[in-house]
Amino acid sequence: MSDAKLKTDALNELDCLHMGYEAAAGGRLSDKYRDPDDQNRDAIPSEFELLSMDATTKSKERLFNDLQYHLLPALHLHLTSISRILTPSYLCARFEGITKRVLGIHLETERMIDSIRSHINLLCPVESIPKALHRDDDQHHKQFKSFRLRSLRAQFAQVSRLIFFMLREAYSILKDLIIRPETNYSSPYLSEVIVEVFDYINCTIECLKGSELDIVQCFWRLELKKFVHKVSHIRLFVVDIGYSIKDHQRYGVSNGEAPTQMLVYESSIQLANVATTLVKLSNLFFAKLSTRGINRKRLAYSTEMSSQQIESLAEFIGKVEDDIDRLIGLIGFAYEGTIDDLAELSQDLVNIALKLKSRFDLPLHLILLHLLPLVPDTDPGSPTRSYYKDWFATWNTQRILATENFINLAKSLKNNP
């Protein structure tokens, strides 16, 4: 093959890649690209055409089934194809014609996204989403509570965003290989995005088939990973304070440091230790509601909670995270001595500890009232309702005691001279 022919092929490939990249960045590939082997393919129907194409889409239950059993699994399959053909081993062995394959998958993915969005718009029209809170009177709407439907829309919005980011990364990789075929391909983001998009597809499916607790835990999953890091962070913090105490004992007096600095160090390390207990107790609470605990066997599909109450369960983990971060930050201020007014710092620590304590009051009430009764009281091989009732009572007692201990230590700060 001549050099001229090679350059022409490369330009054609690059043109195709540029077209695909632009579409993934916000356009529509279906408006620009037709598979040359299928010129008679019908044009992609618009979202509004899809709404009236099939009478079965007027049934919400049928829409649920279409999404759960057909459209979302098919989308997952197409994205799996992209992830497979972008592996280094596949690219090295079968690079020829791969751009056309990716464009074809992109086009079909775009069609699927259109169809899924149309289904979701029928289930949860944009105009039906008020700026106010979720409904507080839909306890008996079963699978059609506003929380479930809006969660479905929110989770798939993340899927769409990540898919087009994934496609842009794919086109960038292919472009680099065409321009510089001798280099090894690498993408620092692609593998992470692929995992994340599959996670969000699974969460979208959970919004259709899962219990209300399953959906709540879709909102918890990213936050839960942070608890382990928070405990590690506090432990390292305690170690640092320990070194500072040793340095103070060895050099502090000769360097002219105030003798009260030792008291501040000691108070800081005590506060950090109790804060570690509070973080662990918070983590235990969420873990006990997970598939390792009360949700190890799927609970009933719906409860008598309103959408507003379910939303409060979904969102409070973020508020707990914020309170814990604030708590750790204030302890750091005490240790570093960046706040001169210890009385003010003491009161801030007390306030945030009380706020953290209050975060769990409503969720605990909802769990005991609505979720715990769904657990069988006789189930061979699994913890019973009585076990969980006793566990939450013990956990709550430990939480209250740890909070009181922290508050007493925080109050002692202002007594340091």
Using alpha carbons, list the distances in angstroms from residue 44 to 28, 48, 51, 104: 11, 11, 13, 13
Q: What was the pLDDT predicted at 249?
A: 57
398-405 contacts: CB < 8 A, separation 24 or more? 398/281, 399/278, 399/281, 399/357, 399/360, 400/357, 402/274, 402/277, 402/278, 402/281, 403/278, 403/353, 403/354, 403/356, 403/357, 405/274
What does the DSSP assignment read for 223-252?
HHHHHHHHHHHHHHHHHHHHHHHHHIIIII
Q: For domain 215-413, which CATH number applies: 1.20.1410, 1.10.60, 1.20.1540, 2.30.30?
A: 1.20.1410
Contact 58, 75 (CB under 8 A): no
Residue 248 carries which side chain, given as an amino acid letter?
Answer: H
Q: Does the global pTM surpass 0.85?
A: no
The single residue listed with the structure tokens 């508050």 is 407
pLDDT along the chain (417 residues), means of 10: 42 66 60 40 41 50 92 92 77 69 84 92 75 71 89 94 87 78 68 91 95 93 80 75 62 52 73 91 92 82 93 94 92 72 89 97 96 87 90 98 96 73
Token readout for 286 is 């969420």
Residue 313 gets the label, from left (phi > 0), alpha (psi -120 to 50) or beta, of alpha
Q: What was the pLDDT predicted at 361?
A: 96
* CB atoms inside a 10 Å sphere around CB 239: 12
From-to residues of CATH 1.20.1410 in the chain? 215-413
Token readout for 54 is 């099939």
Q: What was the pLDDT predicted at 133?
A: 61
Q: What was the pLDDT predicted at 128?
A: 60
